[in-house]
């Protein structure tokens, strides 16, 4: 079962482990025929298509759960929404064959909506075309072990900006790579953009709005693959 | 605007899930649809407070009313509290992130003395005046209950009304009164007056204390007609008729007791003389097996939890425990639900029950021996013997347990070095028992965790007249214990005597200790129960500033005829009974469990108590 759910604003600080535990308990309460692993300490066979960092909200996150019995998509959706708290409601269920490769393996790009607040939001937004016009954008990617200089330009597939003059905010819509060797985190994108615009990093809210795979070079929602 | 500000703060603190709300089964009600908005506070962090059963019961009871809603609040950890002050964010509720000051009532549960500074912290963060007399109808009515309310005096200045005894009753009755007062538009003072007339409710501003030259209490009287001289505790006579939650909040973050918790009985009649809970929660009342099974089913369905704990002061005393454990295991095995049984006493006939529960999960076993020798156990009336311990751990080791916890106290009345040596002796005997168990049946990895805490004399116990050991005495005894507790396979832990000393001051403190408490909080004391936050130097500074002598409260022997600050409360057990028990204690005479014959503790005066006995 592929369950598409939101990680709402009020629970955006949930970490992966807390979210995992919450989903397990919801699955137990749902009475859906969830499959358990064999072995001494059986556990549910489930995984997230992609872990979402603490602090980031999500509109269409994906949980992959193995089922061991007959059910329907409608039944699953209703059962899960009965037991999930309001901030984690599900929007879609798709039942797929177990032979289906792990859904996370098909992930190619993701979309983020980044809302910038404050005086410099506008200037940053207006800098987007010039930022994208660069052939190469070098940025420092930090991991626990090392810092490496990488060109992030090829990882940015789409980036648009819209300014809301009244609210003193700007909204960026970005589609970026999300594969093993080339994942562009939204904070690194923001860092590079602000550096280019010569602006301070503003307060921003980040939502992940879509998880995408690819068919014939075109982005397709992961759940539809 | 406030909600956005709060959201911004959550990016900057540790464990934001503490302040997040939005959990499964949290109750969200429309504030405009109710007459009374009740904020319920546990004065510690979320993961501690969410583990408290009483708060869960009251949250449920209030939210079951159509005319009221209840939202939760906990003391923000120091990082969050500092940020809130810096950013001018007032204390807010988890459910709707509304300012606490705007609620009609604020209930605070008093579970341990070392949370008192956190109450001042809560009030201050909420923008509620610290002192009852400075509050207006712009502030909630601040009510506190729980075991520490049996000596409410150290908090008299900060709390509008205390609820004494089982909370199910006065929580609802106080809501009725406040609702009526608000509807009628009467003064806050009049509202407090009406509250004082409810059974089990104490309104400190309507009483006055005077003191003798030697510092002892001279008189304690109501200041006006119609205010009761004696406040009688509330008691729920029949647990099966009391409301119990059939659905509970399931936190996102891991909390201390992260499981379903069903209270199987309330009260304890063993009569351990150091134990305040065993005295103030009398009489014993059991929930029926059918009721518990029904609750278990509903709670499993509603929460998705994988573990149930049967809680009480002494779960082994539950009459039908073997039958209950068996039924629970059988009914919920398929759902992979584990059962845990805390607070077991060694002398209960438990072998089979233990074998039942271990089918699903094996946890460590805890034995509260409390004292090292039979003589001292007789003094404190802890009716267990060395033979009980060794045969029980023998059974446990033979059934595959390998982890055992032993709890002791030191600084008990009449204690000598011999009693301390007894602690090491018992620990060694447990280790020996393990090695006597055949290798083929015992589990690997013996762990004997032995901990000794400093005895704190509590009100409404036979030891309420006793001095506590001084910090120096405790430290000397601790040194001795550390020396003799070097036993292979045994890990020894002890508690800081400074914390226990302060606990003793506030457990038996009078009104004057309130000033020291406030001074300590102003000096920055909070989360005193947390070792990394505890600042003994600041506390001593606070005592010096206010002229309060802590030794007067902790280390002084009280005479039989001294007027005790909590004597105006009728806790069920009478002062005569407590004194009788005290006299038996110093002669090392035991008193049998009152289920085997009434000991005249005073509870029979209460309607519906001790029925069928």
Phi then psi dihedrals of residue B248, to 5 deg: -130, 160
Q: Determine the 3-state secondary structure of B504 from DSSP.
A: helix
pLDDT, tens digit, for every residue of B217-267? Answer: 999 999 999 999 999 999 999 999 999 999 999 999 999 999 999 999 999
Please tell me whether residues B339 and B372 are part of one structural domain: no
pLDDT, tens digit, for every residue of B451-509? Answer: 999 999 999 999 999 999 999 999 999 999 999 999 999 999 988 899 999 999 999 99
Please tell me whether residues B279 and B303 are part of one structural domain: yes
pLDDT, tens digit, for every residue of A182-207? Answer: 889 999 999 999 999 999 998 889 99
Q: Are B552 and B215 in contact (CB under 8 A)?
A: yes
Interchain contact B523–A (C-beta under 8 A):
no
Nearest to B305 among A8, A25, A42 (CB): A25
The residue among B104, B93, B123 whose CA lies nearest residue B65 is: B104
Cβ-defined contact of B24 to A84 (cutoff 8 Å): yes
Question: Which residues, at least 6 apart from B515, have a Cβ–Cβ distance to it below 8 Å?
Answer: B546, B548
Cα of A22 to nearest chain B Cα, Å: 6
CA distances from B78 to B83, B90, B100, B535 (A): 9, 14, 18, 14
Class at the top of the CATH hierarchy for domain A2-105: alpha beta
Please tell me whether residues B270 and B213 are part of one structural domain: no
In a domain, B91, yes or no: yes
Please tell me whether residues B342 and B271 are part of one structural domain: yes
DSSP H or E segment with residue A164: strand A156-164
Q: Where are the domains of chain A?
A: 2-105, 107-224
Q: What is the domain extent for residue B40?
A: 2-221
pLDDT at position A189: 95
In a domain, B509, yes or no: no
pLDDT, tens digit, for every residue of B544-564? Answer: 999 999 999 999 999 999 999
Out of B355-359, B378-382, B586-590, B599-603, pick the least confident: B355-359
Cβ-defined contact of B304 to A84 (cutoff 8 Å): no
Q: What's the predicted TM-score (pTM) here?
A: 0.93
DSSP B527: -
User: Which site among A29, A33, A202 would you substitute to test the B interface, given the most B Cβ atoms closer than 10 Å to its Cβ?
Assistant: A29
Cβ-defined contact of A27 to B250 (cutoff 8 Å): no
Query: Taking a contact as any Cβ pair under 8 Å apart, which residues of chain A between 170 and 199 contact chain B?
Result: none
Q: Which residues in chain A are closer than 8 Å to B249, comparing Cβ atoms?
A: none
Please tell me whether residues B41 and B177 are part of one structural domain: yes
pLDDT at position B360: 44
Cβ-defined contact of A26 to B24 (cutoff 8 Å): yes
CA–chain centroid gap for B513, Å, is: 21
Out of A137-146, B69-78, B345-354, pick the least confident: B345-354
Interchain contact A22–B (C-beta under 8 A):
yes
Please tell me whether residues B92 and B152 are part of one structural domain: yes
Please tell me whether residues B350 and B412 are part of one structural domain: no
Q: Which residues in chain B are closer than 8 Å to A10, comparing Cβ atoms?
A: 7, 20-22
Question: Which residues, at least 6 apart from B88, have a Cβ–Cβ distance to it below 8 Å?
Answer: none
Please tell me whether residues B274 and B294 are part of one structural domain: yes
CA dihedral B442, B447, B452, B458 (to 10 degrees): -60
Please tell me whether residues B331 and B368 are part of one structural domain: no
* Residue ending a domain, choose from B495, B513, B538: B495
Query: A107-224 — its CATH code?
Result: 3.30.70
Instruction: Compute the distance between CA of residue B75 and CA of residue B43 in angstroms, rounded to an integer.
Output: 5
Please tell me whether residues B354 and B390 are part of one structural domain: no
Question: Residue B152's domain is classified under what CATH number?
Answer: 3.40.50.280
Interchain contact A84–B (C-beta under 8 A):
yes
In a domain, B564, yes or no: no
Would the pLDDT of B612 be above 90? no
Instruction: Compute the distance between CA of residue A207 and CA of residue B549 in angstroms, rounded to an integer.
Output: 57
Question: Residue B343's domain is classified under what CATH number?
Answer: 3.30.750.210
Query: Taking a contact as any Cβ pair under 8 Å apart, which residues of chain B between 234 and 293 contact chain A?
Result: 250, 252-254
Query: Taking a contact as any Cβ pair under 8 Å apart, which residues of chain B between 320 and 359 contact chain A?
Result: 335-336
Instruction: Compute the distance between CA of residue B396 and CA of residue B418 in angstroms, rounded to an integer.
Output: 28
Kindly report the average pLDDT of chain B as a whole number. Answer: 93
CA dihedral B37, B41, B46, B52 (to 10 degrees): -110
Would the pLDDT of B376 be above 50? yes
Question: Residue B387's domain is classified under what CATH number?
Answer: 3.30.750.200
* Residue ending a domain, choose from B495, B518, B540: B495
Interchain contact A89–B (C-beta under 8 A):
no
Instruction: Compute the distance between CA of residue A218 and CA of residue A50 in angstroms, rounded to an integer.
Output: 20
In a domain, B613, yes or no: yes
pLDDT band at A67 (very low <50, low <70, confident <90, very high): very high
For B1-7, the CB contacts below 8 A with 24+ separation are B2/B89, B2/B90, B2/B92, B2/B97, B2/B99, B3/B97, B5/B87, B5/B89, B6/B89, B6/B92, B6/B97, B7/A9, B7/A10
Neighbours of B18 (CB within 10 A): 25
Q: Which residues in chain B are closer than 8 Å to A86, comparing Cβ atoms?
A: 22, 28
Please tell me whether residues B194 and B287 are part of one structural domain: no
- Whether A2-105 shares its CATH topology with A107-224 is answered yes
Please tell me whether residues B386 and B482 are part of one structural domain: yes
Cα of B10 to nearest chain A Cα, Å: 8
Paired residues of B454 in beta bridges: B410
Tokens describing residue B548: 């309060």
* Residue ending a domain, choose from B204, B221, B238: B221
Cβ-defined contact of B304 to A26 (cutoff 8 Å): yes
Neighbours of B216 (CB within 10 A): 16
Instruction: Using CA coordinates, name the residue in chain B closest to A203.
Output: B8
Would the pLDDT of B396 be above 90? no
Cβ-defined contact of A9 to B7 (cutoff 8 Å): yes
Interchain contact A34–B (C-beta under 8 A):
no
The count of domains in chain B is 3
pLDDT at position A126: 93
């Amino acid at each position: 079962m592929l369950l598409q759910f939101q990680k709402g604003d009020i629970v955006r600080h949930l970490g992966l482990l807390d979210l995992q535990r919450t989903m397990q308990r919801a699955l137990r309460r749902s009475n859906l025929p969830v499959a358990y692993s064999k072995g001494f300490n059986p556990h549910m066979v489930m995984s997230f298509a992609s872990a979402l960092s603490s602090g980031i909200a999500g509109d269409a996150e994906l949980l992959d759960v193995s089922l061991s019995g007959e059910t329907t998509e409608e039944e699953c959706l209703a059962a899960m929404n009965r037991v999930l708290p309001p901030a984690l409601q599900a929007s879609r269920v798709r039942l797929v064959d177990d032979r289906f490769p792990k859904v996370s393996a098909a992930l190619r790009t993701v979309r983020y909506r980044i809302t910038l607040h404050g005086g410099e939001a506008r200037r940053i937004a207006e800098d987007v075309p010039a930022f994208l016009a660069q052939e190469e954008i070098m940025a420092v990617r930090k991991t626990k072990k090392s810092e490496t200089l990488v060109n992030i330009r090829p990882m940015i597939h789409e980036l648009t900006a819209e300014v809301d003059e009244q609210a003193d905010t700007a909204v960026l819509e970005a589609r970026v790579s999300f594969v093993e060797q080339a994942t562009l985190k939204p904070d690194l994108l923001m860092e590079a953009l602000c550096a280019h615009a010569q602006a301070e990093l503003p307060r921003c809210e980040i939502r992940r709005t879509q998880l995408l795979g690819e068919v014939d070079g075109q982005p397709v929602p992961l759940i539809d693959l | 605007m406030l909600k956005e500000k709060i959201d911004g703060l959550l990016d900057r603190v540790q464990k934001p899930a503490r302040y997040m709300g939005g959990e499964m089964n949290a109750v969200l009600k429309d504030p405009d649809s109710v007459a009374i908005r009740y904020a319920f506070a546990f004065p510690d962090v979320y993961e501690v407070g969410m583990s408290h059963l009483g708060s869960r019961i009251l949250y449920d009871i209030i939210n079951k009313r159509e005319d009221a809603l209840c939202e939760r609040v906990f003391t923000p950890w120091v990082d969050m509290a500092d940020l809130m002050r810096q950013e001018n964010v007032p204390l807010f509720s988890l459910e709707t992130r509304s300012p606490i000051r705007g609620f009609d009532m604020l209930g605070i549960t008093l579970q341990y003395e070392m949370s008192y500074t956190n109450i001042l912290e809560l009030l201050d963060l909420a923008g509620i005046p610290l002192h009852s007399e400075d509050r207006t109808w712009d502030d909630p009515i601040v009510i506190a209950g729980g075991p520490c309310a049996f000596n409410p005096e150290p908090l008299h200045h900060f709390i509008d009304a205390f609820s004494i005894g089982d909370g199910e009753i006065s929580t609802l009755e106080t809501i009725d009164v406040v609702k009526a007062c608000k509807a009628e538009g009467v003064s806050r003072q009049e509202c407090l007056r009406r509250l004082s007339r409810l059974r089990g409710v104490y309104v400190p501003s309507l009483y006055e204390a005077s003191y003798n030259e030697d510092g002892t209490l001279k008189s304690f009287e109501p200041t006006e007609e119609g205010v009761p001289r004696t406040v009688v505790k509330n008691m729920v006579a029949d647990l099966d008729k009391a409301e119990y939650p059939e659905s509970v909040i399931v936190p996102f973050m891991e909390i201390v007791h992260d499981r379903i918790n069903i209270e199987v009985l309330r009260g304890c009649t063993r009569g351990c003389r150091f134990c305040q809970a065993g005295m103030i929660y009398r009489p014993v009342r059991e929930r029926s097996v059918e009721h518990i099974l029904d609750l278990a089913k509903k709670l499993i369905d509603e929460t998705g939890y994988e573990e149930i704990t049967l809680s009480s002061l002494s779960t082994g005393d539950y009459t039908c425990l073997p039958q209950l454990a068996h039924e629970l295991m059988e009914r919920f095995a398929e759902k992979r639900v584990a059962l845990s049984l805390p607070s077991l006493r060694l002398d209960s006939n438990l072998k089979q029950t233990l074998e039942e529960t271990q089918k699903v999960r094996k946890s460590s076993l805890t034995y509260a021996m409390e004292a090292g020798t039979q003589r001292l156990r007789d003094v404190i009336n802890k009716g267990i013997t060395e033979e009980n311990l060794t045969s029980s751990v023998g059974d446990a080791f033979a059934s595959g347990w390998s982890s055992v916890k032993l709890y002791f106290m030191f600084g008990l009345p009449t204690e000598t070095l011999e009693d301390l040596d007894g602690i090491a002796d018992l620990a060694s005997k447990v280790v020996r028992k393990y090695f006597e168990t055949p290798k083929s049946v015992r589990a690997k990895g013996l762990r004997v965790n032995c901990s000794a805490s400093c005895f704190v004399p509590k009100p409404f116990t036979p030891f309420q007249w006793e001095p506590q050991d001084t910090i120096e005495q405790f430290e000397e005894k601790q040194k001795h214990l550390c020396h003799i507790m070097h036993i292979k396979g045994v890990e020894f832990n002890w508690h800081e005597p400074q914390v226990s000393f302060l606990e003793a001051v506030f457990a038996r403190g009078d009104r004057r200790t309130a000033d020291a408490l406030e001074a300590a909080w102003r000096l920055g004391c909070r989360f005193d129960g947390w070792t990394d936050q505890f600042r003994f130097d600041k506390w001593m500074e606070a005592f010096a500033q206010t002229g309060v002598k802590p030794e007067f409260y902790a280390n002084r022997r009280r005479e039989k005829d001294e007027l005790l600050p909590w004597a105006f409360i009728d806790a069920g057990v009478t002062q005569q009974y407590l004194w009788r028990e005290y006299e038996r204690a110093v002669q090392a005479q035991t008193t049998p469990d009152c289920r085997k014959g009434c000991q005249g503790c005073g509870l029979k005066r209460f309607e519906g108590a001790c029925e069928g006995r």
